[in-house]
Every structure is written in C-alpha cells, then in structure tokens.
Structure 1
C-alpha cells in the first residue's frame, strides 16, 4: 500500500516573477513522490473573485490557499495542494489555484494567457470562476479561450497543424466547470424554471450574422462548445454580508448563507465524484512523476519562447519513462536470474530455457511501464541488453563448468601424474598399466555429477596437455615391439579425432540451440509488442469514437441553430477523425 500524500498547505508550483514562469523545485519534489494516479483540478478566473475559497473547500480545509481581503490579487503564479482523494482510495487530488487574471498591477495580458493555457494543459477538470451572470462582459473576460490556438499546439507536425491543430483539442482538454459567484438572477427561461446547466447551454448559443460584433459574440461561445467535451455549471449565492466577506475564512458555517453552504457542498461533491484521473493520449494514466515531467516540459518550452506542444510533452515524458522501463526490466531479469540460475547447468538448453522464462517476464515488465516507444527504440535497447545478459550468463556458465572440471581433473588425475614422475610406470609393461589406470580414472571423472557443459572439452584439453607424458611411456616401454608402438600411435590419433568430432558436434548443437533461442526471443518480443499495440490501438479508437460522438452532437446542434458554415467545418474534422480511425488498422515496423 502506497503512503498517502501529506501536505499541511499549498506550495507554489509555477512561480511568476517579473513576468517569467519558473517551476518550483520543492513542489516538483512533492510530485515526484506521488506514485498514485492524480486527479488534477485547476481553477482560473479574474482576480478577487473567490477562487481560493472553493479550492480550500475541495482540500477539506478552511485555510490554505490565500483568500485575501482587498482589491489586490494574493495568488501569484500557480499554487498546488496535494491531498488524498476523499472518495477514491489510492488516488491523489491535486488542486491548482492560479493567480487572478486581469490584475491591473501586472499589466501583462500575455502572462495571463500562459497561466490560462497551463491550467488547461495540466488539469483533468478546469474550473472557470466568475462573478454575476453569463453575459457578454463575462464572455469578453473569457477571451483567453479564443486565444488557445495561439498558445497551444497538439502536434509538432506542420502538416497536421495545417489541417486544423485545434480539431484535436477536444481529445485532451479537461472537463469544463463554470462557477458563477454572487449569482442573483432567477434560473428560468420563457417563464419556466431551468437548471444551471441549462442556463449555461442557453448562454452558449450563437447568434446569426456576419458583422464583426457578432463574431466577437460567437467566438468564445463556439470555442467553449468546440474544445470542451464535458461542461457543467454551478451558481453560488453571496456567502455572507459584504462586511463579513473580509474575514470569510474565519466565519463558522452557521454564519454563512445556508444556500451558499449547500451550493458549495454540491460543487465539491461533483468534483469528487465526476473529476477524472488525468490521462494522456492512449489512456495513459498520469501520476505524480508524470505530472512533474509535464510541468517542466511546458514551463521550459514557454520560457524558451516556443509554444507548448502536447505531442512533444508526451514524447519527452515517454523518453524518461521508457528509459526507466528498460532499467526496471533489466533489474527484474537480474533479480530473477540471480535467484534461479545455479551455475553451472548440466546442459546449455537448461540455461536457455531459464533465460527465456525470465526474459518473458522482463519484457512484460517493460511493456507495462513503457508507452509511445516510437519505432520500438527502447524495446530494441532492452532486447540488446537482454541478449548481452544471456551471452554473459552463457560465458559464466562455461567458466563455472570449466573451473569445476579442471579442479576435478586435478583431484582425480593428480595422483597418476605423481606416480608417473616417481617412475611407477617406467618398466616393461608400464605403458599398458598406465592406460588401464587412466581409463579407470576417466570413468571416475564421468561418474562425478554437476560438472556442467564443459565436461568433455575440459577433459579433452587436459588429456591433450598430457600427451607428451603418455608418449614418453609408450616409447620407453621395452615390452612393446615397434609395430605395436606404431599401432598404438594410430589408435591414439583415431581416439583424438573421435573426441574432436564429438566436441564439434556439441559445438554445432550449442550453436543451433542459440539460434533457436534468438528466434524464440524475437518472437516473444513480437508477441508482447503486438498485444500492446492492439491494446493501445483499442484505447485510441475508443478516444476517437468519444471525440467523434462529441463533434457529431455539436454538429447537429449547429445545424439546428442554422449555422451551416460552422457545421461544415465540423464535418471536415469528423471526416479527418474517421480517416485516422481507419488508418489505425495499418501495420507497424517491429524491432
């Protein structure tokens, strides 16, 4: 069970100093330790609109994010508070409170646009907090949403961006929640009561006309409808009388407007129950380290003067994760082989079978942790390292067997060598006596177990090293005729040739086993990669179907409202999505 994240209060995640955005190392360190999936809720809105109060309630605290009580904005940059998710076990709720937009003291609209864009990029639920009603002024203040195409790229490919980069936004944009504070109107339309969601839906309707004024009216509404697949609206009464607002965090719940208390509770309940885990394309779940990587990539990109790109950020994350996945797989291989490999093995096949079983596990470990391994670059690295590990084990297996056999030969044949040196066989008939003794010792050597795969070759080399000694006994044995000596020489040559043939056959057999193992290894990589590709393809197709359904729904709505031009633009996007879905059935280069 993973330890829960304990943060007594928020810390600054992205500092905003003199218009320059910098990732805070303390906050990144906190994220790096969160192995659980994260649900990321970001809140954005004009300064002094009570954003921080809602975030404190989500954290289950009365204090934390700075509320302030003056017309000055308190929050600078983006602040983070990580708390255990109150309703989903083993998940972490990451709350991001952003500095107020439109602060006259900053005088930097560009900076506000980056804060807005980062909140979109990092969150799985995006809360837009505003005062009063959804009127044109509120929409004008939400002009940042119309500028997203100028601040975010979904792809680094110029060809894809030429089609319409923003068409992909819906696939990775967060759920959109509009929080309307100090709302004083009656929720009704045409004399009938409506819900807050219906009020938002009515407020996002477009108006017909080609005038510039109508374009500015329709543009933010169209962007919200087009980019955000899920939309929700909450209204909040004024929490207390104006004189009490300056000390809102000190007020007891009974001192607050009961309707406001109930509205905040409904808002929190919705966030807890419906906010999704932050995911990347292909259903990749984001945890703390992955969120840390996204923060660093996006902030560094913005600081370098470039546009943050979703695809590049995911690929940068994949580089980190896939490198770690290779290391994790190799560590698993080393651990399992260290526990299971008892060297020397009796046969090479025994070692290869063990390697193959552990290799299969190691590949599975890699597959579980890796993603977006372009051209299987990292899987190829893993395959090369596993092959090197296998070769090293084979080498160590040979060395272990050789060492055992050499020690055994010395132990068995050592006394015979001493007898030869002492002259025990330097007499008529001594050579035949020597051969008899040598055969007995050879049989004894064969009877010894656990010699490993080098038993024959080590014996052959040992006997070859003692040929001069045996030949001397043969030549000096006076009981043998010259013809008998010649016959014995030929017999020894034939015996040596047979031994060489046997060794050669063993070498060929080992080579065949190694070739078979390489083929099995390749097939294992292919099998697991194919399974992973099918799984990823299925997830991507599901995402594309969800995007397609959302765009079809929006297209029908545009047609109903009489906006045929916008409907046709959506139809073009729908056609591209269908083409992309069809192309998912294509093949891929494997290893």
Structure 2
C-alpha cells in the first residue's frame, strides 16, 4: 500500500493466541510501504466499552474496527488501520485498536499485559477508554500500568536487575488520553466549583498521603500515570443513545444520536488530529511505516524469546537495519556514478582519482542523510572501506584496460612491419635506414591514438 492511499479497512497487526503473540506479515507489508512519518494512536480498555467507535471516527468512517457489540469479539490482539492524516499533509495516521482485553473466556492475563505494553511502546498517543467515573473499579481495570516497569526496559543494561528511573520511561512514553464513556457526571458539581474534564482527571490522580498498605494499592496506579505519561488529557462522553440502540451505532447518523455525545466525539477527534505528535525515538528520530514495522518485530521477538522489550535495543536494531541500507544505497550511487562517468582506460591516473573523489563525496552525503545513531562510526568506516576497495579495483581495471588497449594497438599498427620483416623487405642495402624510418612512423601513429591510458609508454 502506498502511503498516500487508503486501506479499505483494518487488519490484524499482532494476534494474541492466548499462548503467544504472532505478527501478521500482511500488516507488516503495509507498514513497510509507508514512507511518510506516522502519527500512531492506540486505544486500550475492556472490550465492549466503545473503543472501536472512537477509532472508526478517527478513520473518518462509520464501519471498520469491530464495535464488539456482542460478547464474541474478533481476533484478539492489536488491529491496525492506516489512513492519510486529515489535518497534516504528507503524514499517515496509524490507528491501533486492542481487542479482547479483559475477556472472561480467557484464563490467563499475561498476554493482555503484553498487549497493553505494546500499545504503549508503539504509540505516540495512548487512549485509555473506560465506562463511568474514575473510581476504584476504573483504576483496578488500569492495573496493567502498574506492571509496565516489569514489562518494559528503557535501557540495555548489563545488570538486568537494575532499577530504572521513571525519567527513562517518560522519554519515550506517549501522551495519555483518558476517555470516560456513558457518564452522567456534572463536572460543575465537583466540590461546588466549575471543573473541566482535565481538572477532574488531575483530581482523580491525587495520592493518599497517609501511609498504609491499603493506600499504597490506591496510590500505585495513580503514581504510575503521573510519573510515566508526560502529557495527560481527559474527555467525558454522554451515552450516545438508549441502551436498545447501542448495537446499531454503525448504521446510525449523527442526527439520531445524543447531540452532546456527537459534539464530545467531534471535540475528541479534533484534539487527536491537532495535538497527537509524530511517533519519535530518542534523538528526535521520526518514525515512518518501515521503522514502525521494525519496532513491532523487535518488541514481539523479545517477548516471544522471554526477554523484556527494550527501547534502547529497538533503536539499535533499527539503526542496524537502516545504516546497513544506507551503506548499500551509498555504494549503489557510487557504482552508478562511476559507471556513467568513467571510461576505461583514463588518459591519466589523476582523471580516475578525481572521478572517484567526486563520486565518493556524493556517496558519503547519501549515507549521512540516510543513517542515524552510527555508534563509533562503524557503518561509516565500513562504507569508507568499501569505497577504497572499489577505488583499488578501478585502479587495477584501469591498468588492465590500458595494457589491453595498448597491446591491441601495437599489434594492429605494427602488424604490417612484422609481415615486411618476414618477407625480408629490409634485407638490402639501405634497408636499416628504411626500417628505422618505418618504425618511427608507426610509433608516431601509435602515439597519436587516443585513450591509451597510463600504460601507453610501457
């Protein structure tokens, strides 16, 4: 899929099979074709809480992600829909919808926590969707956030037991948006003062200051949200329609829904479109589709092998792939330039050196443009070694081409002289003088021939 074309609908990116996480090759193929920077919005929450409706709205469609109006949900895991960004030209909006979290049919929550962690790692904006107010139950459902330090590593450390500082996580964690659904709360009634949704969220994240095991459990998820997510936002949604019609949302028009809900949804979409940033890595490296593909593979491979997904390792893996590709691209450009400009043999060695240096300079510029995080300049050194080898090969080829050209010319030009000698044309009085005269004329003819190269006097 070209980056400027629509996907007809979502595809499963990572399937949760209850025993392992499996990446869908077709989804990776779609990502690999996206050359534009990507804004990645992931949504997480219990199934049948209206997550997919919001994601379909972000995609500009009524249908797409399954709304999960029935207990039996679609393939569990992470589903992906890539669409042109509606507000930012030449950017792609990647929507990730998690399926099956909290499914009572499953006995093991281990993979759910991995899906949650992957949604954090892959997104630039992370949406947590829940029903009703922010109460003890809502926080309990957000328990996965308290496990993140056990599921993710920011740095590759020789000491696997090293405790990482929260600042390490904040450096790559996405923005946090909490969407509260089907809520009848009147914000202006909180503490008798006018209160916004964001202020309600901040108030809900306040910690209990009295030390006790009970309050530690109360504080932990709130503390994690406060520490890990650099930017937090809250949206509150009324019930879209009456209970009986909730299963018909895909076919209902906006004028059939509660006007407040329609406006709240529009405000949410506008905020996401305007404020969600491009997915970036350490060092302000923008992520495009192919880089997101590498992140998906690196993280899922780490989980499958029993390791913790590590942001630093992911960046190193990405650098390995892209720097290797940058070397190949630079070498290909060098080969093309030399192939087009060099005609062997060259008249002088300096002519070949000048052509090499010009092509080498362009190749290095291409490498620098396409590489990043080249630790200790290893790939640049590899490029330099390959360019030097090619230069040496051109020198040898130039020598051989010159030698072959000169040999062929000498054979062609002096062929008649050899025949005359065989016929004893010069075996007569004055023959030696005639021979020398003929040789000098043939030498002159040889020397007048162009492009003999650096072996012409040998």
With the shorter chain as reference, the TM-score category is over 0.9
SS at match of 1:40: strand
Task: State how 1:233-272 maps to structure 2 within 5 Å.
Answer: 233-272=234-273
Aligned equivalents of 2:425 and 2:109: distance in 1? 105
Structure 1 residues 165-184: Cα deviation after superposition (integer angstroms, max 9, x where no partner): 54300111111111111121
Contact 2:42 2:97 in 1 (8 A): yes
Aligned to 1:350: 351
- Residue 171 (structure 1) aligned with residue 152 (structure 2): no
Offset, 1:193:
1.3
Contact 1:98 1:115 in 2 (8 A): yes
Structure 2 distance, partners of 1:36, 1:120, is 21
What is the CA-CA distance between 1:384 and the residue it aligns to? Answer: 1.8
1:411 paired with 2:421, answer no
Counterparts of 1:332 and 1:44, CA distance in 2: 45
**What is aligned with 2:142?**
142
Alpha-carbon separation, structure 2, partners of 1:46 and 1:162: 32
Answer yes or no: is the 8 Å Cα contact 2:156–2:313 preserved in 1. yes
Indicate the residue corresponding to 2:64 in structure 1. 64
Secondary structure in 1 aligned to 2:95?
Answer: strand
Report matched runs for 1:177-188 at 5 Å.
177-188=177-188
Q: Report the equivalent of 2:192.
A: 191
Q: Deviations over 1:338-361 (max 9, x none)?
A: 111122211111111111111111
1:101-140 paired onto structure 2 within 5 Å: 101-140=101-140
Distance 1:166 1:13 in 2: 29
Q: What secondary structure sits across from 1:172 in the alignment?
A: coil
Q: Within 1, Cα distance between the matches of 2:138 and 2:159?
A: 36
1:432 pairs with 2:436: no
How far did residue 401 of structure 1 move?
Answer: 2.0
Alignment of 1:262-411 (within 5 A): 262-411=263-412
The structural deviation recorded for 1:23 is: 0.5
Q: Once superposed, what is the RMSD of the aligned Cα atoms?
A: 1.8
TM-score relative to the length of structure 1: 0.74
Q: Who is 1:558 aligned against?
A: none
Q: Quick one: distance in 2 between partners of 1:290 and 1:250?
A: 36
Cα shift readout 1:62-121 (whole Å, capped 9, x = no counterpart): 011111223454451111111111111222111110024322211222121111001001
Partner Cα separation in structure 1 for residue 403 and residue 43 of structure 2: 69
Tell me the residue number matched to 1:555: none
Kindly indicate whether the alpha-carbon contact (under 8 Å) linking 1:5 and 1:92 is maintained by their aligned counterparts in 2. Answer: no
Q: Is the 8 A contact 2:18 2:111 kept in 1?
A: no
Which deviates more from structure 2 when the two are superposed, residues 144-153 or residues 270-279? 270-279
TM-score normalized by the length of structure 2: 0.95
Deviations 1:501-550 (A, max 9, x none): xxxxxxxxxxxxxxxxxxxxxxxxxxxxxxxxxxxxxxxxxxxxxxxxxx
How far apart, in 2, do the equivalents of 1:390 and 1:208 lie? 71
Q: Provide Cα deviations, 1:316-358, integer angstroms capped at 9, x if missing partner.
A: 2222222221111111111111111122211111111111111
Q: Check conservation: 1:154, 1:166, Cα contact below 8 A.
A: no
SS in 1 for 2:171: helix
Q: Which has the higher contact order (CA 8 A, sep 6+)?
A: 2
2:16 alignment partner in structure 1: 16
More moved, 395-404 vs 384-393: 395-404
Equivalent pair of 1:44/1:100 in contact (CA under 8 Å): no
Per the alignment, residue 421 of structure 2 pairs with 420
SS of 1:453's equivalent in the other structure is: helix
SS at match of 1:86: coil
Partner Cα separation in structure 2 for residue 41 and residue 49 of structure 1: 17
SS in 2 for 1:396: helix
In structure 1, the partner of 2:212 is 211
Q: Distance in 2 between matches of 1:452 and 1:97?
A: 66
CA–CA separation in structure 2 for the residues paired with 1:433 and 1:378: 64
In 1: Cα distance, 2:160 partner to 2:234 partner = 33
Listed as ranges, the gaps of 5+ residues in structure 2 are none
Give the distance between the partners of 1:50 and 1:308, measured in 2 at CA: 29
- Whichever of the two has the greater Rg, that structure is 1
The 8 Å contact of residues 21 and 300 in structure 2, kept in 1 or not, is answered as yes
Q: 1:316 to 1:337 in 2, by over 3 A?
A: same
SS in 1 for 2:433: helix
- Which residue in the other structure is 2:230 paired with? 229
2:457 is matched with which residue? 456
Partner of 1:55: 55
The CA distance in 2 between the partners of 1:83 and 1:32, in whole Å, is 14
Kindly provide the CA deviation profile for residues 120-151 of structure 1, in whole angstroms up to 9, marking residues without a partner as x: 01111100001111122212221111110000
| C-alpha distance in structure 1 between counterparts of 2:185 and 2:393, whole Å | 77
Counterpart-to-counterpart distance in 1, 2:168 and 2:291? 21
| Residue 270 of structure 1, CA deviation | 1.1
Aligned length: 456
Aligned partner of residue 232 in structure 1, secondary structure = strand
Alignment partners' CA distance in 2, 1:84 and 1:122: 18
1:533-583 deviations in whole A, cap 9, x for unaligned? xxxxxxxxxxxxxxxxxxxxxxxxxxxxxxxxxxxxxxxxxxxxxxxxxxx
Q: In structure 1, the residue corresponding to 2:425 is in which secondary structure?
A: coil
